[in-house]
Structure formats: structure tokens, C-alpha cells
Amino acid sequence: MKGISIRPMMSADKAAVEHICIETAPPFLCSNDKRREYTLLMYNRYYTRVLQHSFVAVDTNDKPVGYILCAPDYKSYKQDFYRNELADIRRLGIFYSISARSEVCSVSKHAKKYPAHLHIDILPAYQGRHIGKELMNALFHHLKEQHISGLMLSVSRENKGAIAFYEKCGFRVLSKGAGLVYGMKL
């Protein structure tokens, strides 16, 4: 991880984190303006509003090259997400609204045992350098200090690289549906 350090996310990082989110998203999620906006609303904007549980990997110029975003309490996240991001997603159209609700609800049955959930992305040029593992370790340490008992995430079945990474980090499959939900006790 030469030349890369991990630090808490700051509001000044928001634009760079949005850029990373779009750069690392599957092409179909960024094929037009509506889909790009949906992607940012689903996977980025909540976390960058509530950023005290998120970390960035930065280069020697303090420019973010990756991030791990976290909501420590699913119930609070869901309420806040519905009140804020979902309102904006509804304006994009019914398909986006249904898709967002479905994805947010897909993990709800695991929220008691795994109250925190995460979203992690690293720019392609920086992948394979153990940055993801260091971001995970920073988050694990932070959540343990906060006495959070478990952490979950959802991932597409097609994202084989991410699945292998999560399993290597110690996550286990909690449920299978359109995607996979992984969890880890802390």
C-alpha cells in the first residue's frame, strides 16, 4: 500500500467519492443521467451526508482513490434514506423507486444481528494493492469501538471479484436472492 493512507472521510471528499462511485459502478448503472443520479442516490449520498463512520484511502496528495462508506444502524439508515434519497429517486421514475425500495428491504431481515452495513469502492488503477483490506480494517476497528455487533453488505452475484474479497475478509452469506447478502459478527 505504498503511498496510500487511510483516514476518516471529510466533507471536502464528497466530490471525489462521488467520482469514484460512478467510475467503479457497472456500466448499465451509468449509461445515462438518470441512472448515474440513481447510482449516487443509492450508493453514495446518504453515507456522504452522515460521514462519521466512513473512511477514504488517499494518495500522497490527499486525493481519495477509494472509500468505505458505512451506516452503523440499519433502522436509522432506512428511515433517513426513505425521507431523503428515496424522495429524490421517486422523481427519476417508478422503476427506480421500486428498485431502490427492493434493494433497501432485501437486507432488512438481517438488521438485528448485523445492524451496520457498508459500501466499498476503489478506483481500478488502485485495486489489488490491499487498499480494500486496510479500509475494511479501519471500519472494523471503528465499529468495534462503537460497540456495533455486526456488519452486512449486499453484492451482485456477477461481481465475483468482490465476492471473493468479502469472503477473504471473513464475511459469510446470509441470504441469496437477486443478489447476495453477506454478514460478519464483530
Low-confidence ranges of the chain (pLDDT < 50): none
The tens digit of pLDDT for each residue in 22-49 reads 999 988 888 899 999 999 999 998 888 8
Whole-angstrom distance, CA of residue 139 vs CA of residue 151: 10
Label the pairing between strands 150-156 and 116-122.
Answer: parallel
Q: Which CATH superfamily is domain 5-151 in?
A: Gcn5-related N-acetyltransferase (GNAT) (3.40.630.30)
7 Cβ contact partners less than 8 Å away, ≥ 6 residues apart: 55, 56, 58
| Amino acid identity at 22 | I
The tens digit of pLDDT for each residue in 58-84 reads 999 999 999 999 999 999 999 999 999
Going from N- to C-terminal start, the domains of the chain cover: 5-151
Q: What is the pTM of this model?
A: 0.93
Spatial strand order in the sheet of 172-176: 5-8, 55-58, 64-71, 116-122, 150-156, 179-185, 172-176
